[in-house]
Amino acid sequence: MFKRIAIIGCKSTTQFLLENLISHLNIFCLVTIDADMAKRNEVADYTDLRPFCQQNQIAYHVASSYSLNRDIDYLFFKDNCIDLCFVMGWQRLIPENILDLLTIGAFGMHGSAMGLPLGRGRSPLNWALIEGKKQFYTSLFKYDKGIDSGQVLDTYKFQIGEVDNAETLHLKNSLSMLYLIKKNIDDLLHHQFQLKEQNIQVMPTYYPKRSPSDSLIDWSQDVYTIERFIRAVSYPFNGAFTFVNKGIRVKIISAQVFDFSEFGYDDSNIGDIVQVFPYEKILIKCNGGLLLVTKYESDIILNKGETLHNGSHSIKIFERNPQGNFDL
């Protein structure tokens, strides 16, 4: 029997999923948002997917709210008799009244370095990098009214490497979802799938939301923690930032731990630019070693002897659990 499949999302990862599914599945429509709504909701990596849909003859619905909680959005799902939804690049719950309309359900991805139900909530890929985790369990789960609490269809584990950043982890996560959808799509369409409850013997934990202002670098941290942090908030997010001179903002795009030796810069202060190399690469004195910034953006060229600092801004302190992680 023919099933109507919808994709819900508004990011480049959504387009990646569409591009790789349209040759395998008959995608009925896309549900997305416009640029104004994306800006109001601070959606990182927003992508206008309407041109792609027009080029590929896919119907689309521009939601009247990011939460899909208005009548016009409910009526779209009801009037079009959607059976199955895949959610990718959509940072909101799906309303229960819409979920009740779907004959198969809505399925999305969520994961953490520990696996569900640990690490529900916001920005789990970013938090995994910040915490220095080495692996990530991402699950294809069926939406319910809770926060990442739905039953799990399938799970895929991938590595977090030493040079992975927010972008590469998003790519790995996108490949994981694509793999799990292709692996399970026939069973889904024929109602022959089995779902597993998340481990009820484990108390769920939740990561907090991260905002662009939370990407301010804390120079009191050690060099390895700072380097991971820069990777964790890199593209497609806003990027790590700091200040120089009288509050000039500096966005650090990429960096690497240079060495734990100090090459004679022992008397320099934390945050000092101790050397400038060709192609605007700068060397910064940190706790525990030196950080080489390989790419940055600023209104000025940074010079040797200047000091990077927090300006008038305060570092937001996130609470940690007894294991030292940020999921509570």
Q: What is the pLDDT of residues 132-150, one digit of tens each?
A: 999 999 999 999 999 999 9
* CATH superfamily name and code, 217-309: Formyl transferase, C-terminal domain (3.10.25.10)
**Which structure tokens are listed for 267?**
């008397």
Q: What is the pLDDT of residue 2?
A: 79
Nearest to 43 by CA among 32, 28, 51, 55: 32
Residue 71 has pLDDT above 80, yes or no: yes
How much of the chain, in percent, has pLDDT values that exceed 70? 100
d(Cα 112, Cα 21) in Å, to the nearest integer?
A: 25
**Cα atoms in the Cβ-side hemisphere of radius 13 Å centred on 258:** 21
The whole-model pTM stands at: 0.92
pLDDT band at 160 (very low <50, low <70, confident <90, very high): very high
Instruction: Find the mean pLDDT for residues 183-203.
Output: 94
**Which residue ranges does the chain devote to CATH 3.40.50.170?**
1-103, 109-210
The mean pLDDT of 76-85, rounded to a whole number, is: 96
Q: What is the pLDDT of residue 262?
A: 86
pLDDT at position 75 is 96
The domain made up of 1-103 is a member of CATH 3.40.50.170 = yes
Query: Is 70 exceeded by the pLDDT of residue 87?
Result: yes
What is d(CA 327, CA 117) in angstroms, rounded to the nearest whole number? 11
Q: Is the pLDDT of residue 283 over 90?
A: yes
pLDDT of amino acid 1: 60
Confidence band of 46 (pLDDT split at 50, 70, 90): very high
**Mean local confidence (pLDDT), 116-137:** 96
What is the fold of 109-210? Rossmann fold (3.40.50)
The residues of the chain that CATH labels 3.10.25.10 are 217-309
- State what percent of residues in the chain have pLDDT above 90: 95
For residue 265, pLDDT over 80 is answered with: yes
